[in-house]
Structure 1
Amino acid sequence: MLHGRMLQLSGLLALVLSSPFAVNASQASFAKAYSDYQAAVEQGDAPSIEASAKVAYELGATQFAKDSIEVANLALNWASALEKTLTGPLLAPHNQTSTAEINALYQQALTSYKHHYAKSAIELIDPLLGAALTEPNATVAKNHLQQAVDIAEKSQHKKLLADIKMTAFHRLANTELYTPRIKNFALEALESYVQILPENALDRVKATYTVGAIEFAEKHYLKAEPLFLEVIKQFDALEYTHPYALSAHAYLVDIYERKNKREQATAHCLAIGKMRPWTDTQEQQPIFRTLPDYPMSYIKAGKSGWVNLTFTVDEQGFVKDPEIIASEGGSLFEKESLKTLSKWRYAPKFEHGKAIAAKTSVRMDYTINR
């Protein structure tokens, strides 16, 4: 997102503090709250940023008109802080109550911005993206995102446009509104990143991974393969193994298995086992899973069930020694579960920075949606 809000309010805060007129207690409280917010941002302390942003917003609402640009800026600051404190990454799921609160702040800011700025003003992008990413209704979110794309296109800012297109793709990819046009947002973003960013730029590498996953999902394995290899190449320079690199290895295992290129598939499994973990000690991490096939005869019979299994994840992330410990519904569920489990890939368990074999368990549920 853009980051002009603090600069706007910093000037306003300086005006309050340097005024030749008497500063009342309420103004002084707001000035202190906003100063605390700035300090928290400088320190990168997420909980303090959220707490001080809330206080600054609440006190600012008593100092400025409800529909003023100042209150809109404060609302954006608090909304952004809430997202980071409550959910971490912007695109991670929110709990319902928090999403509604955050979305209301973005909508408030968006309404004020539309009143104060032109329809194609670049300032509208921040509240449009925030509102889209916290909006539960996919159609409303899509409208916000399209407005942001239109504004970015008029701005002729290639990086900004690519960022917004990739954001729009991630927001809508798993909704009923996913279309070839939404898919093309990701492809177009990567094309722009390749033109304007170096090979190792994180935005470009992440977009390469995303497009690789799209091509894989559409069974375009010849297109997906070089994209995943590029992701691995760029992340190899890191001192730890990025989750995207692990997943790229897993995708390549699947691609090479489909091509019956066992040696190449094994090479990527071995690479997973030799990874440098992002923590010195960590549990197994599933990085590639397929869903079991529902036995057709059981579908016709309306049978549901489940299977509980234990197994070992070895040093290379392969599933070994699967064992059924309990099941319900029939032997075909057990057969499909064992078959599916053999295709799964994990990042292995690490102790003291070294990959080790370790046992884990999973439950596979079979339910017919009526």
Structure 2
Amino acid sequence: MNIFQHRRNKSAPFLLLFYCCTLIYFTFAASYSFGQSTLEIDDFNAAYLQYGETKNSEPEIAREAARRAYELGKELFGARSERSAMLAINYATLIADESASQSFLDEAVEIYQTVFGFGSEAMIDPLMRLGRTLNDQEKEVLARQYYRRALQLAETHLGPDSSKVGSIEIELGAISLRVGELTEAWESIQEAKIILSKYTDAGSQSGLTRIELLAGEYFLARNEYQNAIEPLLNSLAKFERYPGSNVAVRNRIALINAYENSGQQDLATIQCVAIGETRRVSENENLRPVYRARSEELNIHGIAGGVQIEFLVDKEGFVRNPRLVSSLTNSALGRNLLDLIQKFRFAPRFIDGTVVDSPNQTYTFD
């Protein structure tokens, strides 16, 4: 959860302080009122900048930077400041042990309750933001905990049929689907659909589109491939207005899965080509599969480095002419892997708007 946005500019370090002042409502006057020095402000800025630059690439460094920013921020902003709550959440989401991170999350919620009022309607959005942040960090158990607290408040203050309740049910359904709790996922998805169908505003309509995507993914998780197709087509009809967006690509990949597993390869090809057309892949970049066929019989555990296969991806995203790169003593395993890779699908490469074959592609089974 970012407090301020920044751009790298080594020649002008004072810009960092400017962003901090502007976007998190921190001023020199406020800092002096707490008796803080410019050095302490600089220390906070340095820690927060390091956290922002490393949180997605070097989690251990980011965690230590977030801890320093949290401790310094409490001194600068006050222990009961909303900004201190944000810093506590940043640190908590980088702690691998969920039980250890819980105390920092509870601290953040206590601060929010002080700011907005215990059990108030104003607490709903902060709890939802906290749930979203935790979900983005794949901390589903904690995320669901805070979404459920937001749901209780929304039902109390806004009513059980409010659009806010519907939106929270979508989030709970998505989390349940991700962790494989399919019954709970379906109940939340259907409850959200019943509620949001009563509204015509843009947010509710967008939620209904997302429900269609989640419903399709639910059927895929149950291996009900034919049932998955209709809701996935319904959601794609809206998402394809933004063809290069992550959600549109996710939707198409789900459709490829459904089509491949229901014997409709020609329809899968349409989606493969559509993804390739919107993706900017360099001429020398190795393509990644958008559909991986599965085989429960293959066992490649214990093979150091895995088994690498080289092949050509044609203009429709099919694998052609696969060959083993790795040396194998088990010839039967090699043949099975060659058969399996030919069932994979790729988004073909486009160069200057024209689809082309992609030779010398590799994939490693490990």
Q: In structure 1, give the amino acid aligned to 2:75.
A: T
TM-score normalised according to structure 1 size: 0.65
Q: Kindly indicate whether residue 148 of structure 2 is the aligned counterpart of residue 146 of structure 1.
A: yes
Task: Determine the structure 2 residue equivalent to 1:109.
Answer: 108
Identify if the C-alpha distance between structure 1 residues 325 and 191 changes in structure 2 by more than 3 Å, giving closer, same or farther: farther
Task: Determine the structure 2 residue equivalent to 1:342.
Answer: 342
116-125 or 310-319, larger mean C-alpha shift? 116-125
Identity %: 17
Residue by residue over 1:119-143, the C-alpha shift from the partner in whole angstroms, topping out at 9 and shown as x without a partner, is 3644155245268548887655543
Tell me if the contact between 1:132 and 1:144 (Cα under 8 Å) persists in the aligned partners. no
SS of the aligned residue for 2:361 comes to strand
C-alpha distance in 1, partners of 2:263/2:175?
Answer: 35
Task: Determine the structure 1 residue equivalent to 2:75.
Answer: 62
Identify if the C-alpha distance between structure 1 residues 167 and 329 changes in structure 2 by more than 3 Å, giving closer, same or farther: farther
Tell me if the contact between 1:309 and 1:322 (Cα under 8 Å) persists in the aligned partners. yes
The CA deviation at 1:309 is 1.1
280-289 or 197-206, larger mean C-alpha shift? 197-206
SS of the aligned residue for 1:126 comes to helix
Q: In structure 2, give the amino acid aligned to 1:61.
A: K
Tell me if the contact between 2:312 and 2:321 (Cα under 8 Å) persists in the aligned partners. yes
Tell me if the contact between 1:292 and 1:337 (Cα under 8 Å) persists in the aligned partners. no
SS of the aligned residue for 2:297 comes to coil
Identify if the C-alpha distance between structure 1 residues 352 and 290 changes in structure 2 by more than 3 Å, giving closer, same or farther: same
C-alpha distance in 1, partners of 2:253/2:77?
Answer: 54
The CA deviation at 1:354 is 3.8
Q: Kindly indicate whether residue 217 of structure 2 is the aligned counterpart of residue 213 of structure 1.
A: yes
C-alpha distance in 2, partners of 1:98/1:129?
Answer: 17
Tell me if the contact between 2:95 and 2:101 (Cα under 8 Å) persists in the aligned partners. no
The CA deviation at 1:217 is 1.9
Residue by residue over 1:240-267, the C-alpha shift from the partner in whole angstroms, topping out at 9 and shown as x without a partner, is 4334433433443443444444543444
Residue by residue over 1:133-169, the C-alpha shift from the partner in whole angstroms, topping out at 9 and shown as x without a partner, is 4888765554333222222222337443333333333
SS of the aligned residue for 2:365 comes to strand
Tell me if the contact between 1:197 and 1:204 (Cα under 8 Å) persists in the aligned partners. no
Identify if the C-alpha distance between structure 1 residues 231 and 314 changes in structure 2 by more than 3 Å, giving closer, same or farther: farther
C-alpha distance in 1, partners of 2:85/2:349?
Answer: 41
Residue by residue over 1:314-358, the C-alpha shift from the partner in whole angstroms, topping out at 9 and shown as x without a partner, is 222222221122254633432332333222222223434543322
1:290 to 267, 290, 293: 293
C-alpha distance in 1, partners of 2:185/2:196?
Answer: 17
Task: Structure 2: state its 5+ residue gaps.
Answer: 4-21, 54-61
C-alpha distance in 1, partners of 2:282/2:137?
Answer: 38
The CA deviation at 1:109 is 0.9
C-alpha distance in 2, partners of 1:331/1:191?
Answer: 55
Taking the TM superposition and a 5 Å limit, the aligned residue runs for 1:1-370 are: 23=33, 25-26=35-36, 61-62=74-75, 66=79, 68=80, 70=81, 73-78=82-87, 105-114=104-113, 117-119=117-119, 121-123=121-123, 125-127=125-127, 128-129=130-131, 132-133=134-135, 139-156=141-158, 158-175=162-179, 178-194=181-197, 195-198=199-202, 203-238=207-242, 240-273=243-276, 275-277=277-279, 283-294=286-297, 305=303, 306-328=306-328, 330-358=330-358, 359-365=360-366
C-alpha distance in 2, partners of 1:315/1:184?
Answer: 41
Tell me if the contact between 2:315 and 2:355 (Cα under 8 Å) persists in the aligned partners. yes
Tell me if the contact between 2:316 and 2:348 (Cα under 8 Å) persists in the aligned partners. yes
C-alpha distance in 2, partners of 1:353/1:192?
Answer: 43
Identify if the C-alpha distance between structure 1 residues 327 and 58 changes in structure 2 by more than 3 Å, giving closer, same or farther: same
Tell me if the contact between 2:134 and 2:142 (Cα under 8 Å) persists in the aligned partners. yes
Q: In structure 2, give the amino acid aligned to 1:276.
A: T
C-alpha distance in 2, partners of 1:280/1:77?
Answer: 39
